[in-house]
Amino acid sequence: MQAPLRFSKSFELAVMIRKTDVHFFIPAFNEEQAISEVIKTVRRCGYTNLYVVDDGSTDRTAEKARQAGAYVIRHFLNRGAGAATQTAIEWARKAGYAYMVLMDADGQHSPQDIEALVQRMAAGSCDIVIGSRFLHDVSAMPRTRRWLNHMANVLTNLFCNYRYTDTQSGFRMLNRRAVENLHLTLDGYGFCSEMLILAEQNGLKTAEVPTETIYTRYSLAKGQDFYTGIRTALNFVWNIIFK
């Protein structure tokens, strides 16, 4: 089994990517506590094209996002992280954006790592860049979450030609070719694995770069717990084999 393209955080640029060409999409469900700071963090890095896909939140997520300077795309019902990602990709496809970045709404991604994804994309030879937590120090990751991610990696890699180190990372950058060719179908968390499988089926190349994860009490309360992880895995296998 081959390994995906991996690079350190420093490499020679093949093309210049302007910050105005990069559009950030943040799927969010009931994230009023963190969404403002996440948006402000991206803006402080010089990126101004920000979109929050509000997946049927019942709190003030949409209001907070607008106040922080993001455009809000709203689902009237909560459909799942995969559905919100589908909406983001479809929006970028119709708008003709050259590059899009997907990132989580709970503040776990380090702003310093945005440039790692952008520079890796600028270096060429890939269509998708994944921010891999497992190419960085994961000692701060709770043991249960580390185990769940490891199991997800093993399961996903069974259906892939390459061996990915972080199949569940929500921190990803896509170029225009990826946006045009990725048509996700899973509404839940299984979309992370589905994207990698579809990418290979469509001849897209994926690279990984090391990224840091910021764990707070708030971010640790988000994401998948053990039982959700198991349900996600079973749903993923069912859809891959029988759909």
Residue 25: its pLDDT value, please?
A: 98
Instruction: Tell whether 4 is covered by a domain.
Output: no
In a domain, 7, yes or no: no
Which pLDDT score is estimated for 216?
72
How many CA atoms lie less than 13 Å away from 72 in the CB half-sphere?
21
Please tell me the distance from the alpha carbon of residue 90 to that of residue 185, in angstroms, as a whole number.
12
Quote the CA–CA distance of 232 and 79 in Å, as a whole number.
Answer: 14
- Identify whether 6 is part of a domain: no
Question: Is the distance from CB of 99 to CB of 23 less than 8 angstroms?
Answer: yes
Specify if 27 maps to a domain: yes
**Is residue 10 a part of any domain in this protein?**
no
Count of the separate structural domains present in the chain: 1
| Domain membership flag for residue 55 | yes
Q: Is there a domain that residue 85 lies in?
A: yes
Amino acid 76: pLDDT: 95
- Residue 221 placed within a domain: yes
Where residue 224 sits, what CATH number does that domain have? 3.90.550.10
Q: If the chain, 243 residues long, is cut into consecutive pieces of 10 residues, what is the mean pLDDT of each piece?
A: 56 81 98 97 97 98 98 97 98 98 94 95 97 89 84 92 95 98 94 96 98 76 57 59 55
Residue partners of 130: CB distance under 8 A and separation at least 6: 4, 164, 166, 169, 171, 172, 206, 207, 208, 209
Whole-Å CA distances, 133 to 8, 164, 233: 13, 11, 20
Q: Where are the alpha helices (DSSP H) in 106-142?
A: 114-122
For 81, the domain range is 20-242
Report the pLDDT value the prediction gives residue 142, as an integer from 0 to 100. 78
